[in-house]
Amino acid sequence: MAVLVIADHDNESLFDATHKTVTAAKAFGGDIDVLVAGKGSGAVAEAASKIDGVRKVLHAEGDALEKQLAEAMEALIVPLADGYDAIFAPATTMGKNCMPRVAAKLDVMQLSDITGIEGTDTFERPIYAGNAIMTVKSSDAKKVVTVRGTSFDAAGEGGSASVESVDAPAGPFKSAFVEEKIVQSDRPELTSAKRVVSGGRALGSKEEFDRLIVPLADKLGAAVGASRAAVDAGYAPNDYQVGQTGKIVAPELYIAVGISGAIQHLAGMKDSKIIVAINKDEEAPIFQVADYGLVADLFNAVPELTEAL
């Protein structure tokens, strides 16, 4: 048996989500190869070859692969699929964007966002915003899987796989990259951070969000997250959204500030180890999942907490 893992990266560094996907692939079983598709991504291929348990790295370089555009990824991966029993990718925006195309071309039903593996055809995945866990058995010969990062530990270093070049698909493709606005930040990345501080609608403005949430996160060395309401209102960028349809996080410490705890938000953070909620409404549903609840006005409590750390 063999599994092909699709690496997520930005041509400079290999994302942690890839290491977690390798762990899921190990649970599936068989030889594990990693595909690094990019442009100027030699360092990423190198990093992938060091992941423990990897047999071989396939490295494709090409213009359309620079931003891992879905059509080019499909054209690259589908022919490679012949040699594999399963294709795994992290359930990041890269994996979510590309993998269903691969699945459709192979005529298989993708297993999205899996949280557990019970055998080579049986997988666990959350449905209804994580309010139910479904175990499904796939009858497709090949499995196309995206993996929820918070459910698998990152595979360690220590491997020394060979790196083999594969040809990039020729194109032309019907979509072209125009531009990207990526926020550069020294803060830890949200989905892999050990601590997360998230702010909600109650912050009231971007100014207050930045004045209260950011210093608390800085003190804790935490990533910053937000509820949908805070993102919709422009208090925080869209990629800060934690929840069913945003990012899934499971840090050691999650602090929810002025967030009510709608099921869609809980879906993204209720697997955190310790949850702290600060909310002035003692009836707020967030308190039902919080280990420590502080019923208080955040405008007093947050500066006090930042000060106390």
Partner 1 sequence: MKVLVPVKRVIDYNVKVRVKSDQTGVDLANVKMSMNPFDEIAVEEAVRLKEKGAAEEIIVVSVGPQQAQETLRTALAMGADRGILVKTDDAVEPLAVAKILKGIVGEESPDLVILGKQAIDDDSNQTGQMLAALLDWPQGTFASEVVLEDGKANVTREIDGGLQTLSLQTPAIVTTDLRLNEPRYASLPNIMKAKKKPIDEKAPGDYGVETAARLSVVKVTEPPEREAGETVEDVSTLVSKLKAEGAL
Residue nearest to ligand FAD as judged by C-beta position: 243
Shortest Å, Cβ 116 to ligand FAD:
22
* By CB under 8 A, residue 137 contacts partner 1: yes
Choose from partner 1, ligand FAD, none: what does 274 bind? Cβ within 5-8 Å by kind: partner 1
Shortest Å, Cβ 274 to partner 1:
5
In the complex, the residues that contact ligand FAD under the rule CB under 6 A are 200-202, 227-230, 241-246, 258-260, 262, 264-265, 268, 279-281, 284, 297-299
Number of chain residues interacting with partner 1 (CB under 8 A): 90
Report the alpha-carbon distance of residue 113 to residue 110 in Å, rounded. Answer: 9
How do 122-127 and 116-117 pair as beta strands? antiparallel
* By CB under 8 A, residue 261 contacts partner 1: no
Rounded to 5 degrees, what are φ and ψ at 273?
-70, -60
Q: How far apart are the first and last CA of the chain?
A: 51
C-beta of 49 vs 279, nearer to partner 1: 279
Q: Which residues have C-beta within 8 Å of that of residue 279, sequence separation ≥ 6?
A: 202, 256, 257, 258, 259, 260, 261, 286, 287, 293, 294, 295, 296, 298
DSSP H/E element including 106:
none
* By CB under 8 A, residue 80 contacts partner 1: no
> Which of these segments, 52-60, 162-170, 202-210, 280-288, binds partner 1 (CB under 8 A)?
280-288
C-beta of 50 vs 105, nearer to partner 1: 105
Q: How many CB atoms lie within 10 A of CB 208?
A: 17
Site residues (CB under 8 A) for partner 1, limited to 229-258: 231-232, 237-239, 241, 244-245, 247, 252-253
92-93-98 Cα angle (round to 5): 100
* By CB under 8 A, residue 152 contacts partner 1: no
- Tell me whether the omega of the peptide bond preceding residue 303 falls within 30 degrees of 0, making it cis: no
* By CB under 8 A, residue 171 contacts partner 1: no
Identify the residue among 38, 130, 149, 169 touching partner 1 (CB under 8 A): 130
Identify the residue among 49, 110, 192, 227 touching partner 1 (CB under 8 A): 110
Q: How many CB atoms lie within 10 A of CB 276?
A: 18
CB 118 within 8 A of CB 135: yes
Shortest Å, Cβ 186 to partner 1:
14
C-beta of 95 vs 159, nearer to partner 1: 95
Shortest Å, Cβ 88 to partner 1:
15
Collapse the DSSP code of 33 into the 3-class scheme (helix H, G, I; strand E, B; otherwise coil) and give the result.
strand
